[in-house]
Amino acid sequence: MNVDLKALTQAVGDLDEGTVAQTLESFVASAPSGDEAQKVLKACQEGMAIVGDLFEKGEYFVGDLIFAGELLTSAIAILKPVLAEDKGDKTGKILLATVQGDLHDIGKNIFGGMADAAGFKIADLGIDVSAATIVAEMKEYKPDILGLSGVLTLALDSMKTTVDALIAAGLRDKVKIIIGGNPVTEESCAIIGADAFTKNAAEGVKICQEWVKGR
């Protein structure tokens, strides 16, 4: 394989789009095996962990997380023709939604992208999702973690309604719940009855990793 995996990981971490694209294009041109392509993809995904760390250190900002997501999407697009089928050995399953009444999805998408890169299987229900829909999807998808997102203060109400609906449906104990977005605080997390809260996508992914560790 003609790829320096460490350098590739670092290039993703540095958000060096030119180097990443060049590396991947010449890799694809060398007609690699599906397994080799999986290794290269993994190296790219590991670059996202560098991005997350730099974000937590305050060297990167939200814009960098968004661009990193774009970078990874285009990397996967380049690799697609040579990628072997995903064997499905995922870290854990996350069900994601922006709660009812709120139409914002940028934060949710950043978190979803980073959690995906960290090996989670993601089902994203989109925006303005009712408690009833989330309960139904919980039964169907059986996630390990439920991520509820929102930007408006009204989202806090909908998050509480959603958690209450899960309790009523007897599903609350079957899942860890993390809430995220601008209005969430420690106090609102307690009122809502979630297990964790974050305003920071990278931190959110770490919390989820802790939860599924050693299962």
Partner 1 sequence: MLYDQELLQERRKMYTDLYTGIIPKRVPISVGLATEISIENAGLPLAQTQWTAEGLEDAIENVVKNIKSDTFPSDVARSPQYAELSGDKFWNMGKSGIMQHPEHIYMQPEEYDDFTHSPYDYILEKLLPRRLTKLDESNSIKSALVLFKAITAMNNTRATMGMIQGKLAAKYSFFSVPFEQSGFTVAPFDFIANCLRGFTGMMSDIKRCPEKVSEACEALLPLLLKFGLPKVQTNIGAIFMPCHMPTFMRPAEFEKMYYPTFSKLIHAAAEKGQTFSLFCEDNWMRYLDYLQDLPQGTRFQFEYGDPKLAKEKLGKDHIITGFYPSGMFKTHTKQQCIDKAKELLDILAPGGNYYFNFDKAPLTLGSTNLENYYAVVEYVAENSTYENAGERAFVSDRESTIKHVLKDIPVFTSKYYQTKEDYMQNNSYPIEEIKPIIASITEGYETMTLKTIMGLL
> Which residues contact partner 1 by CB under 8 A?
15, 17, 60-64, 66-67, 70, 100-106, 109, 127-128, 130, 152-154, 156-158, 183, 185, 187-188, 191
Minimum distance of partner 1 from residue 30's CB (angstroms): 27
Closest distance of CB 183 from partner 1, Å:
6
Taking the CA atoms of residue 135, residue 137, residue 142 and residue 146 in that order, the dihedral angle to the nearest 10 degrees is: -70
Q: How far is the CB of 53 from partner 1 (least distance, A)?
A: 16
| Nearest by Cα to 181 from 127, 138, 133 | 127
| Packing angle, helices 5-13 and 62-79, rounded to 10 | 140
CA torsion angle 103 109 115 118 (round to 10): 180
Decide whether 47 or 143 has the Cβ nearer to partner 1: 47
- Residue with Cβ nearer partner 1 (66 or 175): 66
- Give min distance, CB of 107 to partner 1, in A: 10
Token readout for 74 is 């285009």
Q: Minimum Å distance from CB 134 to partner 1?
A: 14
* CB neighbourhood size of 215 (10 A): 7
HSE toward the beta carbon, residue 88, CA cutoff 13 A:
0
Amino acid identity of residue 55, one-letter, is F
Instruction: Find the shortest distance in angstroms from Cβ 158 to partner 1.
Output: 8
121: nearest Cα among 101, 97, 141, 103: 141
First to last CA, the chain: 34
Cα separation, 158 vs 200, in Å, equals 20
Residue closer to partner 1 by CB (options 106, 207) is 106
The residue (of 14 and 195) whose beta carbon lies closer to partner 1 is: 14
**Which of 15, 202 has the CB closer to partner 1?**
15
Q: Which is nearer to partner 1, 8 or 68 (CB)?
A: 68
